[in-house]
Amino acid sequence: MKPTKIMATRDTSAVLMLVTLWIAAPGPAGAQAGRGSSTAPGVRAIGPANGQFADLPGVRLWYTDTGGKGEAVLLLHANTGTSENWRPQLDALSRAGHRVIAFDRRGWGRSVVDLGSGSQPGTTADDLQALADFLALQKFHLIGVAGGGFIALDYAAWHGDRLRSLVVAASTGSLADKEIVDFSSRIAIPGLRDLPAHYREVGASYRGENPEGLRRWIEIEAHARQPGAPAQPLRSPNTFEKLATIEVRTLVMPGEADLIAPPALMKIWAPYLKNAEWTSVPDAGHAIAWERPDVFNAKVIRFLKGGSFERVEHRPPATQ
C-alpha cells in the first residue's frame, strides 16, 4: 500500500506541537534514558549515551543501540509500549554477545514525524529498512512482540534476505484470514477493551506478584502512543498466503496465559511459515517479554545461537 503524502497544514502543525509538548512533558517517556527510577526491579539500566535520533525519510526515529561487534538484533515493540519495554532484553542479549537495537515506532515514544523529508504515515517496515541501512546492517535478527509481530511478519515477507532469523511472540499476526478473525471473535471478552490496557495485556499472575513492575508498565503505556498520531499500515495485509512466502528460520512463541493471542490461535498461523519452530512461555500474558524476561530471554538467546525447538510442520495455503 502506497503511503499518502500529508501536507503541512495548520491542523498537522497543531498535532506536531502537541506531540512536541507530550515528548517534553515530565514522566516516563520524557525522562532521560537510563534514569534509575525508570527501570523495573532487577533490571540493570542502560546508559543514557545509547539513545539517539536517526534522521530518516519522514521521521526522526529514536533508537537505542548497545553497540558491539556481535550479530545485530532489532526489536519491535508492542502497540501499548515503546523501546523502553525492551530494557530487560537490551541487557540480556548484549551480555550474550549481540548488538541490540530497539526503536520507537513512528507515532510512539520519542520518534518525531518529519513532514518535510518523506511521505506520511509511511510503514514501520520501511522505517525499519531505513534504520538498518542507516546503521549499515547487512543482516540481522528481528524480534517482534504483539503488534510488533505484525510488522516483523510484514518485513520478513518483503525483505527476508536481510534476516538471519525471526522471532514472533504473543501475536495474532494481524492475519486477515477468516479462520483467525473468527477465532479472535469467539475468544473476545465483552467490555475488556473498554478497561485500562493492563487488564488485557498483562497476565493476572504478573499483576498480582509484581506491583512495581506493573506500575512501570502502566507508566510506559500511558505515554506510548503520541496524541493524534496516525497508524502506520502494513506494506500489504498479512495473510496465510503471504506467510507462506517467508523462508527465514522463525521462532513462534506464545504466552500460555495470553487473552489476546493464546497458543491455540498462534498454532493456526504458524504452520504457514516454511521454516518455523515452536515454544511457549508458561504463565505469561500478552506482555510476554516484560512479564517473564528470564524465560523469554533464555529461549531467544538459545534460538539466536542456533539452538532448536519443536519443529512446526509446514502447511501450504489452500490457494497453492
C-alpha–C-alpha distance, residues 187 and 160, integer Å: 32
Q: Tell me which residue has cell 529498512.
A: 129
C-alpha–C-alpha distance, residues 145 and 77, integer Å: 6
Fold of 10-30+52-311: Rossmann fold (3.40.50)
C-alpha–C-alpha distance, residues 128 and 77, integer Å: 12
State the DSSP H helix or E strand holding residue 263, giving kind and residue range, or none if neither.
helix 263-269
- Return the exposure string of 56-71: e unless at least 16 CB atoms fall within 10 Å of the residue's CB, then b: bebbebbbbbbeeeeb
Q: Tell me which residue has cell 542502560.
A: 46
pTM: 0.86
3-state DSSP assignment of residue 202 = coil
Identify the pLDDT of residue 167.
Answer: 99
3-state DSSP assignment of residue 109 = coil
Q: Tell me which residue has cell 503520541.
A: 226
- Assign residue 132 a region (left: φ > 0; alpha: ψ between -120 and 50; beta: otherwise): alpha
C-alpha–C-alpha distance, residues 272 and 188, integer Å: 24
**Which three cell numbers mark 250?**
522463525
Q: Can you give the residue ranges of every domain in the chain?
A: 10-30+52-311
Nearest to 105 by CA among 124, 86, 129: 124
pLDDT along the chain (320 residues), means of 10: 35 42 39 32 40 97 96 98 97 97 97 92 97 98 98 98 98 97 98 97 98 98 93 96 98 98 98 98 98 98 98 87
Q: Where are the beta strands (DSSP E) in the chain?
A: 51-56, 59-65, 72-76, 99-103, 112-113, 140-145, 163-169, 250-253, 276-278, 310-311
Identify the pLDDT of residue 21.
Answer: 42
C-alpha–C-alpha distance, residues 298 and 41, integer Å: 18
Considering just the CA atoms, what is the radius of gyration of the chain in Å? Answer: 19
